[in-house]
Every structure is written in C-alpha cells, then in structure tokens.
Amino acid sequence: MKKICSLLFALSAFPALSDVEYTLKITQPEHHLGEVEITFPKSAQAHLDIKLADWRTGRYEILNLANGIRAFDANDAEGRELTWHKIDKSTWRVHLDSPTEVTVNYQVYANELGLRARHIDDSHAFVDASGFFMFSESFRNEPLTVEMQVPGQWRSVSGMDFAGSEHRFSAANFDVLVDSPIESGINQLHKFRVDGRDYELVIWGEGNYDVDLMLSDLKKLVKTGSLIWQGYPYERYVFMVHATSGARGATEHLNSTIIQRHRDAFAKRDDYIGFIATAAHEFIHTWNVKNYRPAGLVPYDYVNPNYSDLLWLAEGSTSYLEGFLLLSAGIITHEEYYQGLSKRINRHLKTPGREIQSVAQTSFDKWINQGGDHGKNFSTNIYSEGALVSMMLDIKLLDDSDGKVSYRDVHALLAKRHALPNSFNSQDVLDILKEISGQDYTQWWAKNIDTPFILDVDALFEKVGLTYQYPAGSEVIAGFDGQAKSNGELLELSHVARNGNAWQAGLTSGDKLVAFNKHQVRNTLDKTMALFEPGQKVVVDFIRRDKLMSTEMTLSEVQSKPKQVTALSQPTQRQQILYRAWMGVAHPNAGQTSQ
C-alpha cells in the first residue's frame, strides 16, 4: 500500500501535459501570407528546439521548407520575450531561464501549390503541416489542436476530428497532424456513406469535372479494400481535389488524399481515367505506406532523408494494384486497363536506365534521383519499374500456385503482421513469399529486385492469356533515338537515348537540330523523320554553344505504332483460371477455349 501511495504522489507531482496549440491566421491571402502561433506546454528544459520539416510525407525529396519562414519570435507564459537563435537551417533554439510555457509566432509564405506542402491565395488555403507548423521532439507525441482563422465564407475540411468549431481540429500527436492536411476555402463538399464508413469529396476550383460520375465511381472504389486487406484503418476518409492550373500530382495521407489536376483535365475519358486511377492509387496507400511501411520509414524523421530499398514496393506496388481495383470494381474496362499497361511497358522499354539501376537501388537513391536526360539513361523509377516488377512477382506466384495465391496475399499479411508501429524489411517479404507459395524466392529476388530485371513480356503474358504485339497497320519507319521539343524553327533535344543512333553520333541533350541532309527540321521529330527512309545515313546540322556543327548518323528502324497488350481470342482453360485469379474478373474471352 505504501508503494502505491508513493507512486500516486510521484504522479501528482508531474501533472499531465497540456495540448500543443496551433493557430493559423490567414492575414494577406493575395500575397500568400499567413501567421502561425504555437503554444507548447510548460517545459523545464534549458532550451527548446523547435523545427520545421525539411520534407513532407509521400514526397521523398528534401524541400527546404524553412525558406518561407520570417519574423520568428518566442515568448514565455507571461508574454516576455525569450532569447532564441537558429542552430541550423530548419531549427530555432529557444532558451528558457525557468520552467514555462513557450509561445512562438512567425510568418509563413505559402506559394508552393505544386509541391502540395503549402498554399494560400484569396480563395483557399491548403495546409500540409510539414510546410506550416513547427514541432518540438519534446512534445511530438502530445495531443494538439489546430485553429484556422480564415475569411467568413470559407469552409475547412480535414481527416482530423473537429474540436468544437467548424475551423478547429484535434489530433493525437504531431505525426497525425502532419499526415492530415486541411483544405480551407471556397469549395464544394459532397458527403456519402459506404459500408458504415463516412466519406467526403471536397473540390477547390472550377473545371470540366462530372461530380456525379466522380461520386459514383468513388463509391465503387472504396468498397474494394476488402478484396486485399482485412478491415479498414479508418472510419472517415476525405478525397481532396484541386481543379487548377500549373500543378498536378497527388499525395497520400493517413485518412485522406490530395489530388491535383488541370481544371480542364477531367472530361475526356483518358483524362478521367487518369483522375480515378490516381484516386485508387492514393486509396491503396491508406494501407500500403500509411498502415504498414518499410523499416527505413518508421518512424518518420522529418528533417533527414529516410532511406529504404523497398520504396518500389511502397509506391510501385501501389501503382500496380490500382488497376486491379479499378477493373474489379467495373470502373474501367479490360481494354482501358490494357491501354494503361501498354503505355507503362513501352515507357519502360524506352528507358535505358532499366539496364543500369535495380528497383532496390532506385528506391534507396530516390532522394537524389532527379530524372531528366541523365536520369532516364542511368536510373529507373520506383513507380513504373516498381509496378512492373510487382506484376512479374504476382504472375509468378499465380503460376507457381496454380492460381491459389497472389501478390495481394503478400500485402494482406504485411498489413496483418507488420502494421505500425512495427515495420518490415526484405527478409520479411521473402518469408511471406515462402510461406504462401511453399517455394524459396531468394534467387528470384536477387535476380529481379537487387539487380536490374529483364522484362520478358511474351513469356509473362502467355501465363494469363494476353499478347503484346504491334497493332494492324503498323509499318517500319525511320527513327531518331531521342526526344526533342520545338524551339522556334529548331528542335531542341531533351533526351538522347544511351547507345542509340543519336548518342553514337555524338548528339546530346540541349543540342538544337537545324537540318537533316540540308532539309530544315519540321516542328516535331516524327514529321522530320517522315522525310527519310529507315536505315538511311544522314548529315545532321545542329547548334551547340551558339556554333553551327554537323555530324553523320544512321536512322534507326522503328514501328509506326507502339506495341499493345490485347487478350487472346481463345485462351486455354489454365490461362482463364490464372487470369481470373490475377484480375478478379473473368478473361474477356472466357468460354472461347482453345485445345
């Protein structure tokens, strides 16, 4: 009894910490400016280090977000100024003479809409906490509130719970806040309920979107989580859409997503599929990344790179699985799925970097891979190549098990056994593969994950009753192994494929093409190549460093139309079985079985 009383006395001597309180006041929206105030609970430390994140979740790139912070000051509980100084580009050290609450104020410049980190204008504020709200490791795990002081006609929406008013939210800790963006402004809000869970679609900006179609398909989409995982990790989910200009992309969050598209990129069927596929991608992330993720990303370190050689699984597998959800839900047709798959394969085969960098290597190097001409020649992409190697693994599992297990079972077990705060590594994935298939995938992993994989499309698709071939009417034409954009009356090279004909001729990105065999270039490479024969030798006049230069090259032989994925007209019984196990629906030509 004495021990219990002593414990109670000890606990009473250290009262529970108060909430961290955040306030964002939209002060000069036309100039993208806001004012942030943060009150941290009483601290007895000699100093309090207060940081702004250097990157945001879902974008594996140092963004240096502290560049938008000005007019920082700090005060104690009595309003007296506290001494502070910066100890690095993103950390403000506040010195404390005695135990006290600490309130800091600063101005934030928010004009990075495309980064999806922070944006303020006269119609809205998009608030990703990594771009707005500083934090202290001392109080990272403490509960908090966020109050938005915004114009009267604005509406605030977030995946966080409301806290007493329409512009005030609460979160269990900073990690929840940083993964729960707020969209506040003049917007549309549509609510719906599916299988006992609440959903919201909030749209900022006018565009050629069809809200009824979006809602209809989102209702179908959110039902598909149970096709892979047991249980949903949320009770309410928010789809945020920016119909805008000059920004595109999307980011997953804990129980919400932000999707950005050009305001006129919704109505055409191809554009709409791009939108709904993005919604599917971010919805999958609710499990893959936000519910379970690789060890290098647990816990998040918001001021340093979080390295992992499994980002291909976090992002690429998500890109791969989105097609399964859309086709299973009846949102897209088989042919639409094949079109997207064809583009991905064709892009991969035109990426010389696939021969240089494995998906494990490109995962680890995501923080420094910058794309562009060199990136395309010597690197790969965690999304595209990650999706293709995920497909390879899926079809191998299906083939090895006669359709009894698939890659979806791997993700179901990752969620069941390695959900946060736990994590997983490559060996954990290999253990699951062996468990569900009865086979050791170590050698396969070494050949396809740890070294650059070779995509044997024909052998792969033969398993599931598909073909990959040039469409009718395709013919051999002259080719230039690179890409160019019109620059006045010239063509400026943006990419020269490693070891292709232009590369061998000594051309490089930035060169401005003037003429082939004294024929002035047309406004595209395709139109220019149409003047010549495949295999023809030509003299290329070009400008480099403002000087006219010449080189000789041989035009390659290419097909006028890219290869396409199509369904076999008479799939075998086994192909039909594996196709259904693969896509969750029957082969489009089921019943037309060949012998």
- Quote the pLDDT of residue 369: 86
Q: In the prediction, which pLDDT does 1 show?
A: 41
Predicted pLDDT at 413: 98
Q: Is residue 522 within 8 Å of 532, Cβ to Cβ?
A: no
The three-point CA angle 339-384-224 to 5° equals: 70
pLDDT per residue rounded down to tens, the chain (595 residues): 433 343 333 333 334 457 999 999 998 999 999 999 999 999 999 999 999 999 999 999 999 899 999 999 999 999 999 999 999 999 999 999 999 999 999 999 999 999 999 999 999 999 999 999 999 999 999 999 999 999 999 999 999 999 999 999 999 999 999 999 999 999 999 999 999 999 999 999 999 999 999 999 999 999 999 999 999 999 999 999 999 998 899 999 999 999 999 999 999 999 999 999 999 999 999 999 999 999 999 999 999 999 999 999 999 999 999 999 999 999 999 999 999 999 999 999 999 999 999 999 999 999 998 789 999 999 999 999 999 999 999 999 999 999 999 999 999 999 999 999 999 999 999 999 999 999 999 999 999 999 999 999 999 999 999 999 999 999 999 999 999 999 999 999 999 999 999 999 999 999 999 999 999 999 999 999 999 999 999 999 999 999 999 999 999 999 999 999 999 999 999 999 999 999 999 999 997 655 4
| Cα–Cα distance measured from residue 579 to residue 402, given in angstroms and rounded to the nearest whole number | 11
Q: Dig out the tokens for 158 from the structure.
A: 């977030």
Within a 13 Å sphere around the CA of 459, how many CA atoms are in the beta-carbon half?
5
Q: How far is the C-alpha of 47 from the C-alpha of 102, rounded, in Å?
A: 10
Q: Which residue has the tokens 């075998």?
A: 572
Q: How far apart are CA 141 and CA 126, in angstroms?
A: 24
Domain over 187-284 is classified CATH 1.10.1660.10: no
Q: In angstroms, rounded to a whole number, what is the distance separating the alpha carbons of residues 560 and 336?
A: 21
- Rounded to 10 degrees, the C-alpha dihedral 347/350/353/357 comes to 50
**Distance, CA of 283 to chain centre:** 11
Protein fold of 20-184: Immunoglobulin-like (2.60.40)
Residue type, 552: E
For residue 325, the Cα-to-chain-centroid distance in whole angstroms is 17
The C-alpha R_g of the chain, in whole angstroms, comes to: 27
| pTM (predicted TM-score) | 0.92
Per-domain boundaries in the chain: 20-184, 187-284, 310-466+571-583, 476-559
pLDDT of residue 371: 85
Compute the half-sphere exposure of residue 243: CA atoms within 13 Å on the CB side of its CA: 21
CATH architecture for the domain at 476-559: Roll (2.30)
Per-residue pLDDT, 246: 84
**Three-class DSSP category at 17:** coil
For residues 131 and 339, what is the distance between their CA atoms, to the nearest angstrom?
Answer: 37
Q: Which amino acid is at 299?
A: P
Query: What is the per-residue DSSP string for 51-67?
Result: E--SS-TT--S---GGG
In which element (H, E) is residue 550 found?
strand 547-554
Q: Tokens representing 494?
A: 């943006």
pLDDT at 213: 98
Residues 6+ apart with CB under 8 A from 374: none
Identical fold, 187-284 and 310-466+571-583:
yes
Q: Fold for 310-466+571-583, please state it.
A: Neutral Protease; domain 2 (1.10.390)
CA–CA separation, 251 vs 271, rounded Å? 18
The residue type of 252 is E
CA distance 253 to 283: 9
Q: Which two tokens stand for residue 439?
A: 């086979």
